[in-house]
A and B are shown apart, each in its own frame.
Chain A
Amino acid sequence: MSTRPDESGRGALPPVLRTPPGIFADQGKEAGAVLIRGDLWLGDRPLARGLDIVCRPGGWTCLMGSSGVGKSTLGRLVAGLPVAARLEGRVTVPAGRVAVMSQQDQLLPWASALANVTIGARLRGERADPERGRRLLAQVGLAGFEDRRPGELSGGQRQRVALARTLIEEAAVVVLDEPFSALDAGTRAAMQDLAAKLLAGRTVILISHDPLEAARLADRAWLIGREGSRPLPLPGGTAPRPLDAPEVLAAQAALFMSLSRPCAV
């Protein structure tokens, strides 16, 4: 379910370099990108060596790979969350907050949908904007559901609330850690469409097991394995690409082949 090696692990904070805008102007086309470089270790066991991942600004980058290889760990490193693993190398993230949306909806069970959407500002001690919360809930198709508690919503509706909560953060970088993998196929496709539409233009790092998801949404996909990372072929065109387009299905099949041979990285 999770590639986090140790769920309870609350290790030391990783070496993350947050670049203030303008300082690294000589980065050229990598300016504003999220870069992950180095070796990922769990204790004295290497998880993935020689990582060299570039997530281009304003695009969707999909991280794929078998369970346990450290995909979620990389997502947590980008978000500045503690991890049990150790990265010998560097994660570069543009300055500003990173929003995270994960497979568990992370909703407060005792709070209404609207209160869950506006929780970020309140946790920071800032003024919450309930009107914006309402607008975003309407955008994700939950107008009229503002006062419902998470227990009164379906799995798909809860992920919609989580998406609205992610959107309200207005973070330049968004980490999506298998956000739709617990949903049924139809709901998942609808959520993919919605997320692609509403998160267009942000730097999105999508961690996924699902080749179809990558083929539909990502601008670039990386296969992560024990021996490093390599880009995977994807169809062009704007996301979300249609489920039934031949090039999407072909890409899905190709990704599937790559994933089932992770040693070939």
Chain B
Amino acid sequence: MALLALWQALVWATGVPPFILPGPARVGAALVGHAGMLAEHARFTLGNLAAGLLAGVALGIVTALNLALSPLARAMMRPMLVLAQAIPVFALAPVVTLWLGYGPASKVVMVALVVYFPVASVLFDALMRPPPALEDLARAMGATPLRLLWLIQLPNALPALGSGLRLAAVYAPFAVIVGEWVGSSRGLGYLMLMANGRGQTDLMFAALALLAAMGLVLFGLAGALQRLTERRRAKGAGPRRLI
């Protein structure tokens, strides 16, 4: 709230024209005035964001589990993963748009690509590092590889997966906007470009505000998930003194 006041004060004090920096009051008015249109574009963006996140996280988890379980998969996929990580995924946006068109598919794929690598690599690293004492225990007890993965490696890696999800939540909104900037006929990113071109700076800021809100909610959700995985652990690992 203080930030909004400061913003308004800055606008008044400097007398910046509204097409450079609209005050919060104008942005609020644009939010209300164009509510219907903003909602429609926001729905498009949010849908692609959610679909891409789900697909990227799911694929990342499946990849990490497979790599952890199979030395053959590790030998085959590791060079590919290293290569794939060396390419900045955002640079792929024009290619993805070329192949998949202006519709939702290219945005979903962009988000999934950006989310996939941090989730897969963070989870895989954690899966491959079970505590040596537990590894010994499992070996002495004659554990099967699948059971070892499910009962020891995966629970041990859950906090790392939580951090991976937080990273994903940070990157995903970038990816969806870049996807829309490169080529789209709908979405908040598209709307921003349009508003910018027509000098409707207040509308552009309104779209930006919605994007920021989406990012914050996403980050909050990922943080909640991460705390959940860590509490599960903390309850066991450390002394329970608080509460």
Contact residues of A with B, CB < 8 Å?
A: 7-8, 76, 79-82, 97-100, 102, 104, 106, 108-111, 119-120, 122-125, 149-152, 169
Contact (Cβ within 8 A) A110 B232: yes
A170 to chain B, nearest CB (A): 12
B140 touches A151 (CB 8 A): no
Main secondary structure of the interface of A (DSSP, over half): loop
Residue among B132, B140, B146, B147 with the most chain A CB within 10 A? Answer: B140
User: What A residues does B232 contact at CB under 8 A?
Assistant: 110
Give the A-B pair count, Cβ closer than 8 A: 81
Report the nearest B residue to A162, measured CB to CB.
B137
A106, B141: Cβ atoms closer than 8 Å: no
Task: Name which of A82, A108, A110 has the most chain B CB atoms within 10 A of its CB.
Answer: A110
Q: Does B197 contact A (CB under 8 A)?
A: no
Q: Is the CB–CB distance between A81 and B235 below 8 Å? A: no
Task: List 5 contacting pairs A-B, 8 Å CB cutoff, sorted by A.
Answer: A79-B140, A109-B237, A110-B232, A120-B141, A149-B235
- Shortest C-beta distance, A133 to chain B (Å), equals 14
**Chain B binding site: helix, strand, loop or mixed by DSSP?**
helix
Residues of A within 8 A of B139 (CB): 80-82
B70 at the interface (CB under 8 A from A): no
Partner of A119, one of B151, B158, B240: B151
Per the bound structure, the CA–CA distance linking A106 and B130 in Å amounts to: 12
Residues A123 and B233 in contact, CB atoms below 8 Å apart: no
Residue of A nearest to B236 (CB): A109
Pair A100/B239 contact, Cβ less than 8 Å: no
User: Nearest residue in A to B141 (C-beta to C-beta)?
Assistant: A120
Interface residues on B, range: 20 to 34
Q: Which residues of A contact B151 (CB under 8 A)?
A: 108, 119, 122-123
Which residues, 97 to 150 on B, are CB-close (under 8 Å) to A?
Answer: 132-134, 136-144, 146-148
B89 within 8 A of A: no
Chain A, Cβ-Cβ closest to B144? A125
Q: Do B133 and A102 have beta carbons less than 8 Å apart? A: yes
Measuring CB to CB, which residues of chain B are less than 8 angstroms from any residue of chain A?
132-134, 136-144, 146-148, 151-152, 155-156, 158, 232-240
Instruction: From known contacts A7-B132, A98-B140, infer whether A151 and B235 are also in contact, taking CB-CB under 8 Å.
Output: yes
| Complex interface: chain A residues within 8 A of B235 (CB) | 110, 149, 151-152
Contact B137 A106 (CB under 8 A): yes
A111 touches B141 (CB 8 A): no
Q: Assess whether A119 is in contact with B132, with CB atoms less than 8 Å apart.
A: no
Complex Cα distance, B240 from A41, in Å, reads 44
Q: If the complex has contacts A8-B132, A108-B155, are A99 and B140 also in contact, measured as CB distance less than 8 A?
A: yes
Q: Which residue of B lies closest to A104 (CB)?
A: B133
A122 and B155 contact, Cβ closer than 8 Å, known pairs A97-B141, A109-B236, A110-B232:
no
For A150, the chain B residues whose CB sits under 8 A away are 236-237
Contact across chains for B133 and A124 when beta carbons are under 8 A apart: no
